[in-house]
Amino acid sequence: MQNVKSFEKIKNTDSRLWQLLVMTSLLMIGVWLRDFSLKPEQIALTFSAGLLTQAVFLHYFQLQQRGFLSSFITCFGLCLLLRCSNLWVHPCVAILAISSKFLIRFQHSHLFNPANLGVILGLTLFPQTWVTSGQWGADLSTALWFIAAGFFVANNARRIDISAYFLCCYAALFLSIRVFWYGYSLDVFLHQFENGALLLFTFFMITDPLTIPRHRTGRAIHAALVAIFAYLWQYVFYGNQGIIWGLFFASFFVPLWNYLFPAPLYQWRTLSVGALND
C-alpha cells in the first residue's frame, strides 16, 4: 500500500522537477567529466539573466503564481547546448529565449521551444557561438542511460509518444536513404543513433508539452516534420545541428496542427492553468 502511494506520488510530481534533476546531473557531468568548454561564469550569467527576465515578465503580466521551473529548464538547456568564446552571449540569449515565451504566442501558448529558439538566435545573431553535437560521444552505455532517464521524464509528462514518433521517422529516413539506398553499413546507423545529443534532443527538447501539438495526431505530424527538416538540413544542405534547426522550422506549423486537430491545452500537474500558460 505504501509502495503504491509512493508510486502515485512520483507519477504525480511535476515532470519538470525530474527534468531539472536530470539536467543538473548532465551539466555537472558535462563540465567535470566531458570536457565541455563552458565557463562557470557563463552558467551563472545564463541563470541570472534568464530568471531575472522571467521575474520581470511575471510581474508585468501579474502572473507571480506561475513560478520559475520552466525558465530553469530553459537556462539548463542553453548551458548544455550553446558554446561561446565570450561571456555576454549566454545572458543575451537567455533574455531573448525567456522573452519569447511571453511575446511570441499563439493559441494561449508560446510558439517556440525557448531553449531551441535561444540556440538558433545564438548561432545566427552572435559571433563566436557554436553547438558541439559530438560532446556526448556515441557509445552504447551513455546512450542507454540517456534513454532510461529520458523515457522516465517524458513518460511522466505524458509526451513520450512524440519521442517515439520522432525517433521512428528519423530512423526510417536514415535507414531508407543512407543505409538501403546509399549503401552505408548498419554501423553508421547505430553510430548516429547512439549519439548522446540526438537522444537528449529526443527526450528532453522535442517533448516540451507546450510547444508541440496538443493532439496526438498533430504530434505525429510535427515529429515527422522535425525529422524531415533535420534530415534535409543535415544531409541535403550539409548544415550543422540538423535536429535543432529541424525543430525550429517545424515550430511554425504547430498552430496549424492545433487548429486542424484541436485538443485541450497541456497542464503541468502541480500548477494551475491560466490564460497565459507558462
Binding site for other proteins (CB under 8 A): 35, 37, 83-85, 127-130, 132-139, 178, 181-185, 187-188, 190-192, 195, 237-238, 240
Q: How far is the CB of 135 from other proteins (least distance, A)?
A: 7
Q: How far is the CB of 42 from other proteins (least distance, A)?
A: 13
Q: Are 222 and 253 in contact (CB under 8 A)?
A: yes
Nearer to other proteins, 128 or 272 (CB): 128
Nearer to other proteins, 87 or 265 (CB): 87
Nearer to other proteins, 10 or 190 (CB): 190
Q: How far is the CB of 24 from other proteins (least distance, A)?
A: 22
Q: Are 230 and 245 in contact (CB under 8 A)?
A: yes
Bridge partner list, 110 = 105
Give the Cα separation of 235 and 120 in Å (integer): 19
Q: How far is the CB of 147 from other proteins (least distance, A)?
A: 18
Question: Which residue's C-alpha cell is 545541428?
Answer: 241
Q: How far is the CB of 82 from other proteins (least distance, A)?
A: 10
The count of other CB atoms within 10 Å of the CB of residue 244 is 23
Nearer to other proteins, 99 or 192 (CB): 192
CA distances from 178 to 118, 139, 272 (A): 31, 20, 46
Q: Are 242 and 235 in contact (CB under 8 A)?
A: yes
CA distance from start to end of the chain: 35
Nearer to other proteins, 64 or 141 (CB): 141
Nearer to other proteins, 40 or 127 (CB): 127
Query: Which residue type does 69 have?
Result: L
Output Rg (C-alpha) for the chain, integer angstroms: 18
Nearer to other proteins, 62 or 86 (CB): 86
Q: How far is the CB of 32 from other proteins (least distance, A)?
A: 14
Q: How far is the CB of 174 from other proteins (least distance, A)?
A: 12
| Residue 5 CB partners (closer than 8 Å, separation 6+) | none
Give the Cα separation of 163 and 158 in Å (integer): 11
Q: How far is the CB of 233 from other proteins (least distance, A)?
A: 12
Q: Are 146 and 200 in contact (CB under 8 A)?
A: yes
CA geometry: angle 277, 163, 200, nearest 5 deg: 90
Nearer to other proteins, 155 or 192 (CB): 192
Give the Cα separation of 207 and 64 in Å (integer): 25
